[in-house]
């Protein structure tokens, strides 16, 4: 099995996602600033908890705005496989998941979900529905399926058969 790396966002999709995050950040910051100014200058009684909440909304909006304009590190959404492990991040703001092939006892592959059954009994779910392009999601699913067969891992309750090389 060779290494595989698939970026889950095209440049156009990544640009649109960043723009969306920037706009949400601006709206959050603007709403937080309005609430903070209203609390500080236009309310009869000062409510500290409301002022703190408004300030937190402003900070969250600024962070999202900075992330949308690449001032903060924006991670790549990807799926990567090599003979030792599978690693993936399905969303630019999501967490990275690393699964070692040696830890996988079985796979359950569905149209929108891949479930990895680990030797520890833990189940890790990869939601293919989070991948924006259906053809990329199918490619990732098929690649994991083929690699699991090569590694002799049970897929959808079926144990792969041991194949012997042809006699020469």
The domain spanning residue 120 has which CATH number?
Answer: 2.30.29.30
3 within a domain of the structure (yes/no): no
Per-residue model confidence (pLDDT) at position 105: 92
Residue 148 lies in a domain: yes
pLDDT at 20 over 80: yes
Residue 1 within any structural domain of the chain: no
Environment class of 113 (CB within 10 Å of its CB; exposed 0-12, middle 13-18, buried 19+) = middle
Burial class (CB in 10 A: 0-12, 13-18, 19+), 107: buried
Residue 2 above 70 pLDDT?
Answer: no
- Number of domains observed in the structure of the chain: 2
Domain that holds residue 148: 78-155
pLDDT in tens, 49-87: 888 999 999 999 998 888 888 766 667 788 889 889 999
Instruction: Give the integer Cα–Cα distance in Å for 27 and 125.
Output: 33
The answer to whether 64 and 28 have CB atoms below 8 angstroms apart is: yes
pTM given for the model? 0.65
- Would you tell me how many other CB atoms lie within 10 Å of the CB of residue 166? 5
User: Do residues 117 and 105 make contact, with C-beta atoms less than 8 angstroms apart?
Assistant: yes
pLDDT at 44: 81
């Amino acid at each position: 099995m060779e290494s595989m790396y698939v970026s889950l966002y095209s440049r156009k999709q990544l640009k649109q996602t960043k723009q969306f995050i920037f706009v949400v950040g601006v709206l959050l910051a603007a709403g937080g600033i309005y609430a903070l100014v209203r609390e500080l200058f236009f309310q009869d009684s000062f409510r500290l908890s409301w002022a703190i909440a408004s300030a937190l909304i402003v900070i969250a909006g600024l962070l999202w705005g900075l992330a949308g304009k690449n001032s903060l590190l924006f991670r790549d959404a990807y799926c990567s496989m090599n003979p030792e492990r599978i690693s993936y991040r399905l969303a630019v703001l999501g967490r990275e998941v690393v699964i070692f092939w040696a830890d996988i006892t079985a796979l359950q592959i569905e149209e929108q979900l891949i479930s990895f059954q680990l030797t520890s009994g833990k189940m890790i779910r990869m939601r293919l529905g989070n991948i924006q392009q259906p053809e990329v999601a199918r490619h990732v699913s098929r690649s994991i399926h083929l690699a699991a067969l090569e590694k002799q891992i049970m897929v959808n309750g079926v144990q792969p058969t041991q194949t012997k090389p042809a006699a020469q």
